[in-house]
């Protein structure tokens, strides 16, 4: 009986001892620190650290599946950062929208390499081996750097960072209205529209006040003088334009007159040439008629005594009639002369 009673007591004592040991060991294990991450979070306040030394940055979002797949590879790469003599950082675009705008991040995850303030975009798979070779083999030297206005340290990208930060704050405010307070989304949109209009009107009023403060109006007499001077200048310009137009008209008229005079002179010259040609033709015709008459007179025999005078006279009369030019021939000649004159006149016109 005694042995049967001791068994349950021993088991109860052993259970109590195990519970006590577990209770004492639990706080000690909880007190042990978890493995510290070598990846340094970057914010808008400490991002200038990447301007010195060599860095690799990763832009991610907690909801991004591709970003979650590369988390372990990025941690492994950060653990070997001391061996590679490189610092490793990460940027949460949800918490730091200004930095995402400064680097103009449009896809996630996004990786950047920085060497003494010169930034380059890494477009590899993001695994440890590729990242290690990218640093050891200095593959980043073959990548075009982000210079000029594209550089994150430029004034342009600083303005872009401000715009992205404002948009992030508006997004957080919208979530506060719709999620925390339970306001409908359309009410939030109406609020932002009204706020935008009010802000625009306020900024316009501020600009008007600033312009009124810095703008010094001219005295009345000076303004009147300036107006008079402006009017006189306009009148003078109008007079100059009128004079120029009149001169153009006069020059055009003179040119027209000169052209008309030249045409008339050319017509007169052509008429004189035609008259000279007609005179020459008439002289030629007259000379031809005289030659024909002389030849006809020379054809008669000079010494025939047996022929009586009566017989000779009819023959001479017949020869005279034959020697005279026919009126039909003269009319043809006159018609040809008239036609030539008309043709020359047409050419002159």
Q: Is the entire prediction scored with pTM above 0.75? A: no
Sheet holding 54-60, edge to edge: 40-41, 87-92, 54-60, 110-115, 118-122
Is 109:66 a contact under the CB 8 Å cutoff? yes
Q: What are the tens digits of pLDDT across the range 13-72? A: 445 554 554 444 444 443 334 567 789 999 988 999 999 999 999 999 999 999 999 999
- Confirm whether 213 is a catalytic residue: no
Q: For residues 120-159, b (16+ Cβ closer than 10 Å) or e, as one string? A: bbbeeebebeebbebbeeeebeeeebbeeeebbeeeebee
Question: What whole-number distance in Å separates Cα of residue 103 and Cα of residue 232?
Answer: 58
Give the start-to-end residue ranges of the domains of the chain: 40-148, 160-214
Res 268: pLDDT:
72
Give 58's strand partners: 90, 111
pLDDT one-digit tens code per residue, 240-280: 888 888 888 777 777 777 777 777 777 777 766 667 777 77
Is residue 109 within 8 A of residue 64, CB to CB? The reply is yes
* pLDDT bracket for residue 298 (50, 70, 90): low
| Catalytic residue (choose from 6, 67, 213, 326) | 67
Mutual angle of helices 220-299 and 309-323, in 10-degree steps = 160
- C-alpha–C-alpha distance, residues 279 and 116, integer Å: 108
- Does 327 have pLDDT greater than 60? no
326 has catalytic annotation: no
Per residue in 74-113, pLDDT (tens digit) is: 999 999 988 889 999 999 999 999 999 999 998 999 999 9
Please identify which of the residues 64, 187, 213, 326 carries the catalytic annotation.
Answer: 64
Give the whole-angstrom CA distance, residue 119 versus residue 146.
Answer: 6
Q: Which CATH architecture has domain 40-148?
A: 3-Layer(aba) Sandwich (3.40)
110-133 pLDDT, tens digit per residue, is 999 999 989 999 998 889 999 999
Residue 107 · residue 92 · CB < 8 Å = no
């Amino acid at each position: 009986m005694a042995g049967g009673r001791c068994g349950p007591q021993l088991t109860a004592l052993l259970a109590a001892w195990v519970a006590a040991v577990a209770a004492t060991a639990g706080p000690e294990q909880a007190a042990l620190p978890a493995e510290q991450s070598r990846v340094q979070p970057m914010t808008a306040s400490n991002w200038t650290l990447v301007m010195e030394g060599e860095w690799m940055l990763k832009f991610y979002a907690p909801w991004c599946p591709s970003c979650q797949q590369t988390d372990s590879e990025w941690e492994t790469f950060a653990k070997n950062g001391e061996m590679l003599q490189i610092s490793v950082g990460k940027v949460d675009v949800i918490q730091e929208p200004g930095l995402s705008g400064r680097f103009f991040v449009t896809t996630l995850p996004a990786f950047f390499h920085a060497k003494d303030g010169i930034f380059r975009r890494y477009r590899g798979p993001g695994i440890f081996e590729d990242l290690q070779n990218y640093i050891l083999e200095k593959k980043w030297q073959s990548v075009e750097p982000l210079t000029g206005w594209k550089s994150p340290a430029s004034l342009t990208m600083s303005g872009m960072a401000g715009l992205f930060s404002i948009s992030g704050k508006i997004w957080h405010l919208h979530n506060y209205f719709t999620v925390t307070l339970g306001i409908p989304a359309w009410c939030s949109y109406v609020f932002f529209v009204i706020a935008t209009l009010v802000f625009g009107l306020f900024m316009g009023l501020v600009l008007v006040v600033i312009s009124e403060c810095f703008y010094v109006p001219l005295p009345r007499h000076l303004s009147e003088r300036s107006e008079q001077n402006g009017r006189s200048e306009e009148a003078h310009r109008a007079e100059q334009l009128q004079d120029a137009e009149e001169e153009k008209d006069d020059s055009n008229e003179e040119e027209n007159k000169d052209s008309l005079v030249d045409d008339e002179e050319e017509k007169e010259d052509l008429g004189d040439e035609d008259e000279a040609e007609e005179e020459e033709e008439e002289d030629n015709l007259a000379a031809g008629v005289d030659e024909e008459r002389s030849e006809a007179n020379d054809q008669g025999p000079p010494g025939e005594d047996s022929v009586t005078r009566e017989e000779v006279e009819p023959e001479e009369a017949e020869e005279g009639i034959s020697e005279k030019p026919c009126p039909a021939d003269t009319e043809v000649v006159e018609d040809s002369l008239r036609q030539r004159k008309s043709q020359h006149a047409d050419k002159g016109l």
